[in-house]
Amino acid sequence: MDILTINNLSKCFDMKAKKRIYAVKDIDLHIKEGEALGLVGESGCGKSTLAKLILQLERPTEGEVIYKDEDLVKKKFRQMQEIRNELQMVFQNSANMFNPYFTVKQIIMEPINDKTVSKEEKEKMIVAMLEKLGLDESFVNRYGNELSGGQRQRVGIARALISQPRFVVCDEAVSSLDYIIKKQILDLLLSLKEQMGLTYLFISHDLSSVKRVCDRVVVMYLGNIVEILPRLDEDARHPYTKALLAASLDIDPRNRTKQKVLYKEHGEKSIPKEGCIFQYRCLYANDECRSKRPELKGGDGDHLVACHLCRD
Ligand code: SF4
């Protein structure tokens, strides 16, 4: 069952000289209840914009975001405030999102401030949530600026989960953490997903984290989805996905030549007026690629690719 259905979602920005740029273009996506859906691609490909459009933190130029049979795009600001607790976000650097001179209690309590529960009940909720995140009761009265990076990120997650959401966007939620803390937070996110029945949209440029957490992965390039695959593994078919995987694996400099057969690293990044969105950087581009935009399709429903060369 889908928790969110995104239809034809686009976000266009007006630039100088009457130029218009699409940050996100014609996105169709089904997010299944209880899954961890990965969203990957280079910086500036539209990942965070798409997440903000889904949560209505930015309004789309066109399209629909269906949640509980209603289109969130049509909701007014006040109506969205009522739904907001069910749709939450964990940011890359949670420390920047809250006042360092607030106590942990004040930080976590903010999303439930307007709830009709007593102060004592709220405090119990906060202690229980901190325990879930591996922080004991003594953290309640500590200030944000007294916490380590890993502790701050845990408090950021506690703040997002205190209102019992159903859907959580993790936007580069572990990117600023060192390896050991990152592993702990990823394990924690997986365990909370099971305990609380959460659905994640997990945005990251760190493919090893995506492989660890995600059940399905969406690959974006210049605001478009180019591939949706069951797991980020060897079965990637789109030349761009293959290049991303190759780049993430190429620790050994002797292997770097392999990337060059997949990917024009310094190819033009402007958006083609017609044809495939990846044509300027793809070494396989042919006349069909330059004239006709490939549809996102596939043999089975779980693996979709937008490439003329992937016809099965
Ligand atoms: Fe490359 Fe053509 Fe496939 Fe686009 S459609 S990814 S240009 S082969």
Asked if pLDDT for residue 195 goes beyond 60, the answer is: yes
Task: Return the closest-CA partner of residue 192 out of 162, 216, 217, 220.
Answer: 162
When pLDDT is cut at 50, 70 and 90, the band that residue 36 belongs to is: very high
What was the pLDDT predicted at 291? Answer: 96
Name residues whose C-beta falls within 8 Å of residue 178's C-beta, 6 or more positions apart in sequence. 149
Asked if pLDDT for residue 274 goes beyond 70, the answer is: yes
Q: Residue 239: enclosing H or E segment and its boundaries? A: helix 239-249
Q: Is 276 in the pocket of ligand 1 (CB under 6 A)?
A: yes
> Which pair of tokens denotes residue 245?
């995987």
Asked if pLDDT for residue 210 goes beyond 50, the answer is: yes
Which phi and psi angles does 17 have, rounded to 5°? Answer: 55, 40
Question: Structural domain boundaries of the chain?
Answer: 233-312
Q: Are 48 and 204 contacting, i.e. CB atoms less than 8 angstroms apart?
A: no
% of the chain beyond a pLDDT of 70: 89
Asked if pLDDT for residue 186 goes beyond 70, the answer is: yes
Q: Are 10 and 24 contacting, i.e. CB atoms less than 8 angstroms apart?
A: yes
Instruction: Evaluate the CA torsion angle 176, 165, 8, 240 in order and state its sign.
Output: positive
% of the chain beyond a pLDDT of 90: 58
**pTM for this structure?**
0.89
Q: Residue 81: enclosing H or E segment and its boundaries? A: helix 77-84
Ligand 1, closest atom to CA 283? 1
What was the pLDDT predicted at 259? Answer: 47
What was the pLDDT predicted at 148? Answer: 87
Ligand 1, closest atom to CA 308? 5
Residue-wise pLDDT tens digits, 72-107: 999 998 899 889 889 999 987 766 667 778 899 999
Average pLDDT, the chain: 87
Q: Is 229 in the pocket of ligand 1 (CB under 6 A)?
A: no
Highest mean pLDDT, choosing among 216-230, 262-276, 298-312: 216-230
Ligand 1 mean position, distance from CA 238 (Å)? 8
Distance CA 225, CA 27 (A): 7
> Which pair of tokens denotes residue 86?
């069910």
Q: Are 10 and 22 contacting, i.e. CB atoms less than 8 angstroms apart?
A: yes
Highest mean pLDDT, choosing among 206-210, 230-234, 269-273: 206-210
Name residues whose C-beta falls within 8 Å of residue 180's C-beta, 6 or more positions apart in sequence. none
Asked if pLDDT for residue 156 goes beyond 80, the answer is: yes
Among 219, 274, 284, residue to substitute to test ligand 1 (most atoms within 8 Å of Cβ): 284
Q: Is 22 in the pocket of ligand 1 (CB under 6 A)?
A: no
Q: Is 236 in the pocket of ligand 1 (CB under 6 A)?
A: no
Distance CA 180, CA 177 (A): 8
Highest mean pLDDT, choosing among 61-75, 136-150, 252-266: 61-75
Distance CA 84, CA 54 (A): 11
Residue-wise pLDDT tens digits, 287-299: 999 999 999 998 6
Asked if pLDDT for residue 190 goes beyond 90, the answer is: yes
Q: Are 144 and 152 contacting, i.e. CB atoms less than 8 angstroms apart?
A: yes
Q: Is 239 in the pocket of ligand 1 (CB under 6 A)?
A: yes
What was the pLDDT predicted at 182? Answer: 87
